[in-house]
């Protein structure tokens, strides 16, 4: 099962809104096949695992044990049901990390396997599998994206200086790490002021991977079309005044006045199957998520050798617990989760 989880991890950033899944086929303590879900819309882990079995080992499939990190699907989506494949290949025993809590599956795959006479063992390294797919499970449980907050601050907790000049706070190595994070999330969000002042591209340039969907809040429709966010190179969603008709790369969604804007945004993103969002700024937008209790993880980068004195104060986290700390030269990264 540990090998299944390691394989599943290889699909991070490529398979959303599907979960990451790994599978290993074992015959008498020898691995004869393994695979993982590599890309959304393509074959699932079980299919790739069985297809990887060498010709000389094909006869062993019907007397092997299949280990899979997540319950095999029992419904037809973009691919046929994996439970049917397992039954067709007469695999007698399946060991599962945890049930797939997506309502179209959620025990139905296990029931189908058992009804066909397959021995099913479940709950092996269950918490590790849940942690691996926390975005997937959170999305379907809360009916909103998994929200990750991220900002960089000076040692005196400022995220920008007094003037309009942009100041690089984190170092080059941390910037690479941030681009790795971007490649792992479905979307990235900024507010109006950050978009106007920094003119960010919000793309993955220093790490291999897919660009996340770009999300910008522009309540009054003031952002100029010359910004990089409107370059039609990456799918971009704009919340605020509906300024134009939707195109393949630019989508506009109005925010209704007098209502909770964040809740409106979350509802639209859920409908669009945006499974996770990294909120990168600015301070007001980040604080609004914190004050609403609308966050699942925060990553705060502090440059321990930089002081800005006067400037824009960093957001203030409340009701949080520290889960990890990492060091990259003069930068320290603190990882937080909200108290349950």
Active site residues: 46
Give, in degrees to the nearest 5, the angle at Cα 311 between 337 and 174.
Answer: 50
DSSP letter at 55 equals: G
- Spell out the SS3 assignment of 135-181: HHHHHHHHCCCEEEEEEEEECCCEEEECCCCCCCCCCHHHHHHHHHH
Alpha carbons 67 and 315: distance in angstroms, whole number: 44
Query: Do residues 334 and 299 lie in contact, with contact meaning Cβ atoms separated by under 8 Å?
Result: yes
206 contacts: CB under 8 Å, gap ≥ 6? 175, 176, 179
Query: Do residues 254 and 260 lie in contact, with contact meaning Cβ atoms separated by under 8 Å?
Result: no
Closest CA to 96 of 76, 75, 70: 70
Distance between terminal CA atoms of the chain?
A: 28
252 contacts: CB under 8 Å, gap ≥ 6? 237, 238, 240, 242, 243, 244, 245, 246
């Amino acid at each position: 099962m540990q090998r299944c989880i390691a394989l599943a991890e290889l699909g991070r950033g490529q398979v959303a809104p599907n979960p990451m899944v790994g599978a290993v086929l074992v015959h008498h303590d020898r691995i004869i096949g393994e695979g993982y879900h590599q890309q959304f819309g393509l074959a699932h882990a079980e299919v790739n695992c069985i297809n990887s079995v060498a010709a000389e080992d094909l006869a062993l499939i019907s007397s092997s044990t299949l280990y899979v990190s997540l319950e095999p699907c029992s419904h037809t989506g973009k691919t046929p049901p994996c439970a049917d494949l397992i039954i067709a290949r007469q695999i007698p025993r399946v060991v599962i990390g945890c049930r797939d809590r997506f309502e179209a599956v959620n025990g139905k795959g296990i029931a189908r396997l058992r009804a066909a006479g397959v021995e099913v063992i479940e709950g092996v390294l269950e918490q590790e599998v849940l942690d691996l797919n926390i975005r997937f499970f959170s999305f379907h449980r809360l009916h909103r994206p998994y929200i990750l907050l991220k900002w960089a601050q000076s040692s005196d907790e400022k995220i920008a200086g007094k003037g309009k000049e942009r100041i690089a706070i984190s170092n080059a190595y941390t910037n690479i790490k941030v681009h790795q994070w971007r490649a792992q999330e479905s979307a990235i969000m900024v507010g109006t002021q950050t978009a106007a002042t920094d003119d960010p591209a919000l793309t993955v340039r220093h790490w291999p991977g897919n660009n996340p969907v770009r999300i910008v809040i522009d309540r009054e429709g003031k952002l100029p079309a010359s910004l990089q966010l409107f370059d039609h190179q990456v799918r971009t969603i704009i919340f605020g005044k509906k300024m134009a008709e939707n195109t393949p790369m630019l989508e506009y969604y109005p925010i209704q006045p007098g209502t909770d804007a964040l809740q409106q945004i979350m509802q639209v993103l859920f409908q669009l199957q945006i499974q996770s969002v990294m909120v990168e700024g600015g301070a007001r937008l980040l604080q609004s998520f914190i004050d609403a209790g609308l966050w699942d993880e925060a990553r705060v980068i502090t440059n321990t050798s930089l002081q800005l004195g006067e400037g824009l104060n960093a957001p203030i986290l409340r009701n949080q617990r520290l889960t990890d700390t990492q060091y990259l030269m003069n930068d320290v990264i603190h990882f937080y989760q909200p108290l349950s």
